Amino acid sequence: MKEEEARKRIEELSAKINEHNYRYYVLADPVIGDYEFDQLMEELISLEKRFPHLLDKNSPSQRVGGQVTKKFPAVRHKYPMLSLSNTYSREELTAFDQRVRKGLGGEPYEYVCELKFDGVAIGVTYREGELERAATRGDGVQGDEITTNVKTIPSIPLKVKTTDHISAFEVRGEVYMPHHSFVQLNRAKEKNGEATFANPRNAAAGSLKLQDSAQVAQRHLDCFIYGVLGENLPFSNHWDSLNTLKQWGFKVSDRISKCTGIEEVFSYITGIEAERGQLPFDIDGVVIKVNNYRQQEKLGYTSKFPRWAISYKFKAERGLTKLLDVIYQVGRTGAVTPVAVLEPVTIAGSTVRRASLYNQDRMEELGLHDKDSVYVEKGGDIIPKIVGVDESLRPAGATPLHFIDNSPECGTALKRDKGEAVHYCPNSEECPPQIQGRIEHFISRRAMNIDSLGQGKTELLIRKGKIHHIADLYDLTYEDLIGLEKTITDPETGKSRTLSFREKTVRNILNALQTSKEVPFERVLYALGIRHLGETMARKLARHFGNIDNLMNASREELIRVDDVGDKVASGIEAHFNDPRNTEIVNRLRNAGLNLAMKEETTTTAPTVLSGKSFVISGVFHNHSREEIRQLIENKGGTIKGSISSKTDFLVAGDNMGPEKRKKAEALDIPIISEEDLLNMMQDSGT
């Protein structure tokens, strides 16, 4: 066969296979049998072998896998992958609806209701109609690139059937393992004496991370697509986007519904709740989204969630089992959590052995007695919890259980602050989990990001007496570290390995510590591990006070004056800095060269380049999240407004900006600038 002929035949076979694949896996309406399909595939594979240079990276033959990925590289999402806020009751949904109505100022609106698939979120990018890249959600900002594995999922098109010319777009969806594949997989595992997966979600997640894509292909994963992002998309609402995605060849659930008013949403939920048990895959609720893109934009986002969507999670499944013991865990801030140890029980497909009891009040409310029979609930990704006791099964003479008085770790008498539910161990200095927890928090990715020091390593350093406080990290020397060693035993498998600090490890640790000195003040402040001080609050305080000294010297009134700072946060800060041990740590960190002040130009007190300028931000950006753009502007003295008026100086436009905003800006002659323009503007002025 001549090359030209081969090329034509390969194209023909690929098109046929893609079409049959689509009919089988997306439409569930095959027109040929397996045998015929296999024949076509075999012919294609053999031609591609004979003419290797004609092999296309998105040939349907790639579905069978074969490529091995040693390490899944981290990739930054072009559009952040957000999650949804959860509701569990119709009252909460009604409240959501009221917020939407208020946010839209009385305009009419519609919802699209969808299933909430219980699997693994992915984002798949297409360029010029071809699958380019697939990634997991990760932390929402960056995930792992798993393209090769995703290509083996037959319902995900490798090439899209679109006539609209859109150079690039990204679909979002949920990879899941259908029940029949899950049962098959676990049976095979059992037969081979391997550990089985607890539920289909874990199985899907585990499968996507297999190194050998041929094995992934054997796992029979599937994927529903529930959204699309991109520039110049040919629709202006979510409903149309889903229907267009269907036409482009994506698998979109047919259980989507357009609803007007919350009552219609309730009926949808009732219908799905009844149908849930018959579905061939797991769902853990439904998702409700405002349909119109312009309205979505108007409602906007909180720091974590869209305000235009919410999930309604189904009531968790319940099991009855025996309470064997209550143990008490001490966390990084000294908070003590009672945990119930249970006789193993299977709930919603997974084995539950422990359940959180939250705090003393919760324990007393349940009125737990020794060896009680308890109801345990587990739903989706929620930690199992005890929801009730079957008193009729209580053994005669059983004694009531009481919360402990002393720390199980260090024996110190526990404290409980007025108005607080949580007990804590005040021995922050010497209580082992607190020492460990503080250091782990300090080095964590969102804090100082010292990733060459994992949990095992910090544990070893603490045990060997090399570190006790976070400040000790910066005194570590090469000699302190080299040659340290310990044996780690995996509690699951019982296998042991030796962790030892060799030349390269030591160099990496010391370099990472050095680099961490560049971490900006707001993250250093978060890293200090002050009670109740989360990331967002740390950022606000850092920007407000500009440096650690101003914060440490601030009166309670000054603290409370900061947006969103309440009594709890203020008390946390006061208590932290009233402890001379903590001020000593701050001094040591200062001497080590950490950033304990905002860089000069970023404090709000210093008038800077954007001073007096008013900005409106709209759309999705390539290199920064919207929140980051907001901060960049505010750091330089600019102010952000929610809507355009004659007082607006600039409209910063990202992708998918609503047409209304553009129109208004144009009408008022307000310059529309891109993310790049904004960055240049800041750069040009030399700040």
Residues designated catalytic: 116
Q: Please tell me whether residue 137 binds ligand IVH under the rule CB under 6 A.
A: yes
| The two three-digit tokens of residue 657, written as one number | 């900006």
In the complex with ligand IVH, which residue's Cβ is closer, 121 or 422? 121
Interface segment toward ligand IVH; rule CB under 6 A; list 116-124, 351-359, 622-630, 678-686: 116-124
Interface segment toward ligand IVH; rule CB under 6 A; list 79-87, 128-136, 372-380, 589-597: 79-87
Interface segment toward ligand IVH; rule CB under 6 A; list 78-86, 183-191, 346-354, 406-414: 78-86
| The two three-digit tokens of residue 67, written as one number | 């490529």
Count the residues of the shown chain that bind ligand IVH, applying the rule CB under 6 A. 15
For residue 209, the Cα-to-chain-centroid distance in whole angstroms is 17
- Measure the CA–CA gap between 187 and 429, rounded to whole angstroms: 50
Choice from 143, 227, 433, 546 touching ligand IVH (CB under 6 A): 227
| CB contact at 8 A, 517 and 589 | no
Give the single-character DSSP code of 620. B
In the complex with ligand IVH, which residue's Cβ is closer, 79 or 197? 79
In the complex with ligand IVH, which residue's Cβ is closer, 312 or 526? 312
Map residue 135 onto helix, strand or coil. Answer: strand
Residue 672: which of 658, 686, 684 has the closest Cα?
658
For residues 325-358, one letter each, b for 16 or more C-beta atoms within 10 angstroms of the residue's C-beta and e for the rest, the string is ebebebebbbbbebbbebeebebbbbebebbbbb
Choice from 97, 114, 170, 522 touching ligand IVH (CB under 6 A): 114
Instruction: Label each residue of 185-249 as H, E or C.
Output: HHHHHHHCCCCCCCCHHHHHHHHHCCCEHHHHHCCCCEEEEEEEEECCCCCCEHHHHHHHHHHCC
Instruction: Label each residue of 371-428 as H, E or C.
Output: CCEEEEEECCCCCCEEEEECHHHCCCCCCECCCCCECCCCCCECEECCCCCCEECCCC
Residue 207: which of 192, 193, 223, 191 has the closest Cα?
223
In the complex with ligand IVH, which residue's Cβ is closer, 136 or 321? 136
- Measure the CA–CA gap between 226 and 234, rounded to whole angstroms: 16
- In whole angstroms, how far apart are CA 205 and each of 149, 274, 279, 347, 350? 11, 27, 20, 19, 15
The pattern of x and - marking residues 596 through 625 that bind ligand IVH according to CB under 6 A reads: ------------------------------
Q: How many residues does the chain have?
A: 687
The pattern of x and - marking residues 2 through 21 that bind ligand IVH according to CB under 6 A reads: --------------------
The pattern of x and - marking residues 300 through 339 that bind ligand IVH according to CB under 6 A reads: ------x--x-x----------------------------
Residue carrying the six token digits 């590289």 = 73
In the complex with ligand IVH, which residue's Cβ is closer, 140 or 331? 140
Interface segment toward ligand IVH; rule CB under 6 A; list 109-117, 270-278, 363-371, 471-479: 109-117
- In angstroms, what is the minimal distance from the CB of 253 to ligand IVH? 8
Quick count: other Cβ atoms within 10 Å of Cβ 645? 11
- Measure the CA–CA gap between 426 and 677, rounded to whole angstroms: 51
Give the single-character DSSP code of 62. G
In the complex with ligand IVH, which residue's Cβ is closer, 63 or 137? 137
| The two three-digit tokens of residue 79, written as one number | 């559009």
Q: Please tell me whether residue 117 binds ligand IVH under the rule CB under 6 A.
A: yes
- In angstroms, what is the minimal distance from the CB of 336 to ligand IVH? 30
Task: List the interface residues with ligand IVH, window 633-662 (CB under 6 A).
Answer: none
- In angstroms, what is the minimal distance from the CB of 385 to ligand IVH? 20
Choice from 210, 245, 287, 470 touching ligand IVH (CB under 6 A): 287
In the complex with ligand IVH, which residue's Cβ is closer, 121 or 348? 121
Choice from 41, 84, 551, 585 touching ligand IVH (CB under 6 A): 84
Choice from 79, 126, 182, 226 touching ligand IVH (CB under 6 A): 226
| CB contact at 8 A, 665 and 645 | no
In the complex with ligand IVH, which residue's Cβ is closer, 156 or 562? 156
Return the ∠ at Cα 489 (arms to 484 and 492), rounded to 5°.
155
Q: Please tell me whether residue 210 binds ligand IVH under the rule CB under 6 A.
A: no
In the complex with ligand IVH, which residue's Cβ is closer, 121 or 665? 121
In the complex with ligand IVH, which residue's Cβ is closer, 14 or 296? 296
Residue 435: which of 474, 480, 465 has the closest Cα?
465
Choice from 13, 121, 146, 594 touching ligand IVH (CB under 6 A): 121
Return the ∠ at Cα 531 (arms to 555 and 414), rounded to 5°.
115
| The two three-digit tokens of residue 567, written as one number | 């009594």
Which residue lies nearest ligand IVH, judged by its C-beta?
A: 121
Q: Please tell me whether residue 585 binds ligand IVH under the rule CB under 6 A.
A: no
- In angstroms, what is the minimal distance from the CB of 465 to ligand IVH? 43
- In whole angstroms, how far apart are CA 80 and each of 141, 199, 625, 628, 642? 5, 27, 7, 12, 20
Q: Please tell me whether residue 230 binds ligand IVH under the rule CB under 6 A.
A: no
Task: List the interface residues with ligand IVH, window 389-408 (CB under 6 A).
Answer: none
- In angstroms, what is the minimal distance from the CB of 505 to ligand IVH? 35
The pattern of x and - marking residues 162 through 201 that bind ligand IVH according to CB under 6 A reads: ------------x---------------------------
- In angstroms, what is the minimal distance from the CB of 109 to ligand IVH? 17
Q: Which residues bind ligand IVH (CB under 6 A)?
A: 82-84, 114, 116-117, 121, 137, 174, 226-227, 287, 306, 309, 311
